Amino acid sequence: MLIEIEAEQLRVGMYVHSLDLSWYNHPFWRRRFLINNEADLSTLLALGTRVIVIDDSKGLAPQPRHDPVPDVVSIPAPPGDIAHEAVLVKSSPVPTTPAPHGPNSKPIPLVGAAREAEMQRASKMLHRSKTEVMTLFGNARMGKAISTRKLTNLVAQISDSVNKDPTIILNIARLKTKDEYTFLHSVSVCALMINLARKLGLDEVVVQDLGMAGMLHDLGKMAIPDVILNKPAKLDEDEWRIVRSHPEKGHAILSSAKCGTETALDVCLHHHEKMDGTGYPHKIKGEDLSLAARMAAICDVYDAITSQRSYNAPLSGAVALSKMLSWKGHFDQSLLRIFIESLGISPIGTVVQLTDGTFATVIGENPGDFSQPIVRTFHDPENPVSCVPKDIRISRIEGTVQIHEIIYDLTPELAEKARATSR
């Protein structure tokens, strides 16, 4: 829905539909864009624009001015249903702890005994839930009635763990055996959706709803024969057609069970759509896809390509993210950048600015700590002529040089310098 707001209501995560400025008078390279970070927000406010039209189906909705804890929050409406604005009524409270990190802070991984304790707690919790969830998914396959009440509790527990340290659940779920894949992929996508939703600063009720949508996104796979899903060889065209039917099958299961929220139905149906309209099942283009569907597309692929599967070796997080950045037309690139920030991983090949001001390219990752990369410097603004490339292993040791931010838009000269140095 298009909503006119005043400049003071603007927040990171909102999707700007139009400004009361001539296109030529502002530095944003697209007419319509997501406000990615505080820097974008400051630039926008500095332009002196007073009225902005935002699209709350593609980003955050404005907060009501007199009711900071609304009973009803707007969430992305299902594509194709322009008249309908999906609403989510706050019902029974979900047992969660408040998010410790705001949208603009980096996740702080637990260390030492605290990490070990949370690993064990999360691992036991997932082990306990596995049978229950797989029974529920199995019932869905046989057309039996399903209830998401138990899943709500699991999503809340995953959410609590992501609150403490987003890497815990993701590390456990990454090591999937073949028979655990369906369950742990659902858990991972749930955790990734929650982590990304918090980075976007979404209301906690919406965060839980998106987590549940992540948990249920591949429900339709239960209707696909195992012999096709687990086939170790390449699928033929008929088999692909059957696999590609899983979003519609999942949507049909949820619809007939009347147990999915609008968000879960939307994500189930549209998590394989692509921004350029070449996805399936409906070939919907990016501007018509909901925020939830665009988030799910990113979380689903990231978990799939970083997991051990029968036909592919898993990619490291840094390599996976750099590949995803290179797939133009597949993902919402603005959202993907926020996803990268939410994980705190620097993709291989990306350019970063370090805390000492120098520019460097990420050339590897520290095997013991995936969020700490190895970088090669190529440009020092203080000393542009005689900067000697140097490899630096970024560490958590206080006082050492750190990554300040990822730089996506480089001048052609710096881009060439980065390429030449990292060869």
Return the number of the residue (125 or 243) whose C-beta is nearest Fe ion.
243
Q: Is the Cβ of residue 118 or residue 218 nearer to Fe ion in the bound state? A: 218
Segment 214 to 243, residues that bind Fe ion, using CB under 5 A: 218
Nearby residues of 374 by Cβ (< 8 Å), 6 or more positions away: 362, 363, 364, 365, 366, 391, 392, 393, 394
Residues in 57-76 at the binding interface with Fe ion, rule: CB under 5 A: none
User: What is the CB neighbour count within 10 angstroms for residue 155?
Assistant: 28
Choose between 201 and 277: whose C-beta lies nearer to Fe ion.
Answer: 277
In whole angstroms, the minimum distance from the beta carbon of 304 to Fe ion comes to 8
Start-end of H helices in 306-368: 317-326, 333-343
First to last CA, the chain: 46
- Of the candidate spans 149-157, 213-221, 259-267, 384-392, the one that interacts with Fe ion by CB under 5 A turns out to be 213-221
Cα 339 to Cα 390: distance, rounded to the nearest angstrom: 28
Q: How far apart are CA 170 and CA 201, in angstroms?
A: 21
Q: Report in angstroms how near the CB of residue 340 gets to Fe ion at its nearest.
A: 22
Please report, as residue ranges, which positions from 111 to 130 form the binding site for Fe ion (by CB under 5 A). none
Q: On the CB side of 41, how many CA atoms lie within 13 Å of its CA?
A: 14
In this complex, which beta carbon is closest to Fe ion, that of residue 10 or of residue 229?
Answer: 229
Cα-based torsion angle of the residue sequence 7, 86, 281, 259 in order, rounded to the nearest 10 degrees: 140
Q: How far is the CB of 214 from Fe ion (least distance, A)?
A: 11
Q: How many Å apart are CA 193 and CA 4, to the nearest integer? A: 28
CA dist 53 and 65 (Å) reads 17
What is the closest distance, in whole angstroms, from the C-beta atom of residue 296 to Fe ion in the complex?
9
Site size with Fe ion, rule: CB under 5 A: 1
* Minimum distance, C-beta of residue 246 to Fe ion, in the bound complex (Å): 6
CA distance 95 to 189: 20
Among the residue ranges 49-57, 212-220, 276-284, 349-357, the one whose residues contact Fe ion (CB under 5 A): 212-220
* Residue 219 or 318 with smaller CB distance to Fe ion: 219
199 versus 270: smaller Cβ distance to Fe ion:
270
**Given the rule CB under 5 A, which of 78-86, 189-197, 211-219, 366-374 is the region that contacts Fe ion?**
211-219
What are the Cα distances from residue 412, in Å, to 242, 415, 418, 419? 45, 5, 10, 11
Q: Which is nearer to Fe ion, 160 or 218 (CB)?
A: 218
Name the minimum Å distance from CB 217 to Fe ion: 6
- CB of 221 vs Fe ion, minimal distance in Å: 6
**What's the closest the beta carbon of residue 218 comes to Fe ion, in angstroms?**
5
User: Which is nearer to Fe ion, 119 or 320 (by Cβ)?
Assistant: 320
Residue 251 C-beta: closest distance to Fe ion, Å: 11
For 74, phi then psi, to 5°, come to: -85, 135
Question: In whole angstroms, how close is the CB of 382 to Fe ion at the nearest point?
Answer: 49
Give the Cα separation of 305 and 315 in Å (integer).
6
Nearer to Fe ion, 54 or 213 (CB): 213
DSSP code per residue over 240-286: HHHHTTHHHHHHHHHHHHT---HHHHHHHHHTT--TBS--SSS--BG
User: Treating both helix axes as pointing N-terminal to C-terminal, what angle do 262-270 and 291-305 enclose, rounded to 10 degrees?
Assistant: 50
**Residue placing its CB nearer to Fe ion in the complex, 41 or 184:** 184
Contact flags string 83-102 toward Fe ion, x per CB under 5 A: --------------------
Ranked by CB distance to Fe ion, the top (closest) residue is 218
Pairing of strands 359-365, 351-354: antiparallel
Tell me the sheet residues that pair with 74.
87
Binding-residue pattern over the window 250 to 289 for Fe ion, x denoting contact by CB under 5 A: ----------------------------------------
Taking the C-alpha atoms of residue 60 and residue 16, their distance in angstroms, rounded to an integer, is 10
303 contacts Fe ion (rule: CB under 5 A): no
Binding site for Fe ion (CB under 5 A): 218
